[in-house]
Copies of this chain bind each other. A is one copy, B any other.
Amino acid sequence: MGRRTPVDDRTGRRIVPDTARRADRPADRHSGNRYGNRPTMKDVAARAGVGLKTVSRVVNGEPGVTPDTERRVQEAIEALGFRRNDSARVLRKGRTASIGLVLEDLADPFYGPLSRAVEEVARAHGALLINGSSAEDPEREQELVLALCARRVDGLVVIPAGDDHRYLAPEIKAGVATVFVDRPAGKIDADVVLSDSFGGARDGVAHLIANGHRRIGFIGDMPRIHTAAERLRGYRTAMEDAGISVEDSWMSLGVTDPERVRRATEEMLAGPAPVTAIFAGNNRVTVTVVRVLAEHSRPVALVGFDDFELADLLKPGVTVVAQDAAALGRTAAERLFRQLDGSLISPERIELPTQLISRGSGELPPAD
């Protein structure tokens, strides 16, 4: 960038186009851990061969620097990937701190309590929460994340749609705190907070087996989604542990829109050897299966992953493997602010337990 790089006078942060930021700061440029070892103004001054005050003038857009000196400082800033750590300065400067939350579906009730928990932690730290949705589209996720970074959020909580997050490495290096939740990050080293999808699904299916079922169907989301793959693995493991060989017709994986789930459920319930129980891979699947079973003559057992509103008031009540969505959000947000205050040294993977809640549908015996 030949000409003057603009500076936000509320934060002193240089505004660099996403493209330039991605290009100028490959992930592997810096050594040391993510949260420490960020280049300082001193490093910039040393590399540019100028005084600290000169660097400060350029960064803050103050006059009194010759174009040539400014260019040298800018080159050093870009070569080092220097960026003001605003998360700390924000409150001093009076600008409201903000963190971004990237969801995959604004209309999925599972994210309601998760979002509100993140918001409550943000508020407790005097920060605003800004949300966005990837609509399960990896490109959209990247576009949204980088747009939030360009809008100077101090940190990001991301429920990823994609499985390659190397595009985020430069932002993380540049000081944007980042925690992934519900699903892990792909191809970068990042904080991750998950539910035990594998163990929860295994327990739920084992519960159906314990109630006498052997022909158990599994209806889940696209296997490219980490949680969907893990829950399928839990299903397979529970069946294998019980010595039951799974038939392909018992498994349906794909988008969880009502039409597909309805068709899949009806197929599993048709034919000479229908399933006697169904394990639903998420709350969207479960509510559709509940609808189909309500129209079905023969009772069919059901356990769903994720709790949902009114599950206990249906007849029978729906047995679920409950995740603590609020705890996922709270844990992720608290780690985010620990990154921002510098008290975290390196990324961790945290897995929260699930809880089987028996309400009747999962305790129905096989119909035949």
Contact = CB atoms under 8 A, between A and B. Distances in A.
Interface stretch (A140-148, A164-172, A262-270, A341-349): A140-148
A222 interface: no
Given A128-B144, A143-B96, A150 B10 contact: yes
A156 to B, nearest CB: 13
A15 interface: yes
A9 interface: yes
A49 interface: no
A8 interface: yes
A310 interface: yes
Contact of A287 (B8, B128, B143, B309): B309
Closest 9 CB pairs of A and B: A107-B112, A131-B131, A151-B151, A106-B115, A107-B116, A6-B7, A6-B6, A106-B116, A10-B17
B109 A61 contact: no
A288 to B, nearest CB: 11
Interface in A303-329: 308-310, 313-315
Contacts of A208: none
Interface in A113-171: 113, 115-116, 119, 123, 128-133, 135, 140, 143-144, 147-148, 150-152
A109 B115 CA distance: 12
B119 A108 contact: no
A124 to B, nearest CB: 12
Contacts of A8: 6, 15
Interface in A166-218: none
Given A131-B132, A132-B128, A96 B147 contact: yes
Interface in A85-105: 95-96, 98, 105
A72 to B, nearest CB: 16
A135 B119 contact: yes
Given A112-B108, A314-B314, A130 B131 contact: yes
Contact of A148 (B130, B291, B308): B130
A241 interface: no
A4 interface: yes
A15 B4 contact: no
A351 interface: no
Nearest to A19: B94
Given A287-B310, A291-B313, A314-B314, A128 B107 contact: no
Contacts of A152: 151
Nearest to A13: B6
Contacts of A290: 310, 313
Contact of A4 (B63, B151, B309): B63
Contacts of A257: none
Contacts of A308: 309
Q: Which of A123, A309, A310 has the most CB of B within 10 A?
A: A310
A347 to B, nearest CB: 26
